[in-house]
Amino acid sequence: MDRERLQSAARDNLWMHFTPHSRFETEDVPIIVRGEGAYIFDADGRRYLDGLGGLFVNQLGHGRQDLADAAAAQARELAFHPIWSYAHPRAIELAERLASLAPGSLNRVFFTSGGGEAVESAWKLAKNYFKLQGKPTKHKVISRAVAYHGTPHGALSITGLPDLKAPFEPLVPSAFRVPNTNLYRASAITAGLLDGSDPRAFGRWAADQIGLAIEYEGPDTVAAVFLEPVQNAGGCFPPPPGYWQRVREICDAYDVLLVSDEVICAYGRLGEMFGADRYGYVPDIITSAKGMTSGYAPMGAMIAKDELMEPFLREKKAFLHGYTWGGHPVGAAVALANLDAFEREGILDQVRSNEGAFRATLERLLDLPIVGDVRGAGYFYGIELVRDKTTRETLTEEECQRILYGYLSKALWDAGLYCRADDRGDPVIQLSPPLIVGQAEFDEMERILREVLTTAGAML
């Protein structure tokens, strides 16, 4: 299709996700036609630095021959067979590979087509597991305010973003929220109890809120806690020191499963294969997707500890759950090739050795009055915007609309940086570039952000 036909068909036929289509009555649809390394190109041939890795997906960069070849070879050999009662080599090999990489006894890999399905599967597994263990009342789940866990009804119930949920209420009952770990907002989050100057105390407080929620709901009714290693929505909340260790203790004390939702944080994003490794805890379940294939094919996985399968074996029962595309041979072949490339190219080491420079480069932006906080880990950063740096006063609703959406998103794009301006919590810019970038791309991001944020600051 030529450019004009692409535009009109995009307007008339393509229903874009999370997108108000009315805006395309006056604007062109941005159409991306190809990618190369850390860059993407639009239909007019303009180049953009892919500062978000697509959608926290692209670890190894665009246009790779090895991953494309792995997909093509697998499609020729066996394009599809389900993993419902049958298996195929790539799903088996990938399951073994993920089990060998995952911490502790997380050896049981249940494939899905994406992250939301992995989260959905984890809640269903937790409920089913406790029923088989003779604890049928354990069914509730706990997650953090402002956290995003996906769009299926269950995953959306676990999500802590009321505006995203409201159009679809009533959702699945039994999901409860606890405070998140935005250290920059510790004072507001703890109602003035802690000011964030002692991150460990804040971490202890935040983790203890999970214990309190379990107590309030009744430990014999709570099945699982869902948390990301670094929470994305709200703008990258790394865990304060000791947070995960305390959460693990609490979950153990109440016999509640700990689900590490690593849909973004796994596969090198934080410089380790899994976020749990970075922060030194062993969850009961890991949910993952996105970076597993670097985006060359859709793929998700729930990785559960051996003990969670035991009652199914003992009772000779099936986990009555699955997806046609789960464990797709092409996705599995690409994931294996992706993990091979991780090893061959030392991707984890590269992220670990560069992350300090990435942070330092972004922290230069702290001299701008509109930049309140720069936070994150690995190749995963959030930049929180404020209207008053001293008081940490956030942007008003009107400023968010006018500056974040009316100016920033488009200005960054026009300046050649694809990233995300988001106000699901406080207003933030989110960055999650391919793991192959280095100082040149860090500088490019900082330069464009500086230019655009300087103008945004003047609009306040």
What beta strand segments (E) does 262-311 contain? 285-288, 300-305
From 53, 116, 203, 268, residue interacting with ligand PLP (rule: CB under 6 A): 116
The piece of 19-27, 146-154, 248-256, 410-418 that touches ligand PLP (CB under 6 A) is: 146-154
State the angle between helix axes of 347-363 and 329-344 in degrees (0 to 180), rounded to the nearest 10. 80
Render 77-140 in DSSP notation, one character per residue.
H------SS---HHHHHHHHHHHHHSSTTEEEEEEESSHHHHHHHHHHHHHHHHHHTT-TT--E
From 35, 54, 61, 150, residue interacting with ligand PLP (rule: CB under 6 A): 150
Binding footprint of ligand PLP, residue count (CB under 6 A)? 13
Amino acid letter for position 119 = V
Pairing of strands 47-50, 417-418: parallel
Shortest reach from residue 149's CB to ligand PLP, in Å: 5
How many other CB atoms are found less than 10 A from the CB of residue 89? 14
- Evaluate the CA torsion angle 246, 249, 253, 259 in order and state its sign: positive
Q: Any contact of residue 114 with ligand PLP (CB under 6 A)?
A: yes
Q: What is the largest CA-CA distance in the chain?
A: 66
From 119, 347, 435, 456, residue interacting with ligand PLP (rule: CB under 6 A): 119
Shortest reach from residue 167's CB to ligand PLP, in Å: 17
Amino acid letter for position 54 = G
Interaction with ligand PLP in 197-256: which residues (CB under 6 A)?
228, 232
From 35, 51, 54, 115, residue interacting with ligand PLP (rule: CB under 6 A): 115
Q: Any contact of residue 264 with ligand PLP (CB under 6 A)?
A: yes
Sheet holding 285-288: strands in order across? Answer: 106-112, 300-305, 285-288, 257-261, 222-227, 140-144, 175-178
The piece of 3-11, 80-88, 112-120, 353-361 that touches ligand PLP (CB under 6 A) is: 112-120
The piece of 64-72, 109-117, 178-186, 188-196 that touches ligand PLP (CB under 6 A) is: 109-117
Q: Contact at 8 Å (CB) between 235 and 260?
A: no
The piece of 5-13, 18-26, 142-150, 306-314 that touches ligand PLP (CB under 6 A) is: 142-150
Cis peptide before 170 (omega within 30 of 0): yes
The piece of 1-9, 21-29, 242-250, 258-266 that touches ligand PLP (CB under 6 A) is: 258-266
The piece of 110-118, 167-175, 382-390, 443-451 that touches ligand PLP (CB under 6 A) is: 110-118
The piece of 97-105, 144-152, 374-382, 448-456 that touches ligand PLP (CB under 6 A) is: 144-152
d(CA 388, CA 386): 5
Shortest reach from residue 285's CB to ligand PLP, in Å: 13
d(CA 446, CA 458): 18
Nearer to ligand PLP, 181 or 361 (CB): 181
Shortest reach from residue 120's CB to ligand PLP, in Å: 9
- Give the residues across from 288 on adjacent strands: 301
Q: Contact at 8 Å (CB) between 380 and 278?
A: no
Q: Any contact of residue 263 with ligand PLP (CB under 6 A)?
A: yes
From 48, 129, 148, 243, residue interacting with ligand PLP (rule: CB under 6 A): 148
Q: Any contact of residue 289 with ligand PLP (CB under 6 A)?
A: yes
Shortest reach from residue 161's CB to ligand PLP, in Å: 11
Instruction: Please give the C-alpha separations between residue 350 and each of 138, 274, 346, in angstroms, as whole numbers.
Output: 43, 15, 6
From 62, 64, 140, 149, residue interacting with ligand PLP (rule: CB under 6 A): 149
From 64, 130, 185, 261, residue interacting with ligand PLP (rule: CB under 6 A): 261
The residue written with tokens 């789960």 in the block is 326
Q: Which chain residues interact with ligand PLP by CB under 6 A?
A: 114-116, 119, 148-150, 228, 232, 261, 263-264, 289
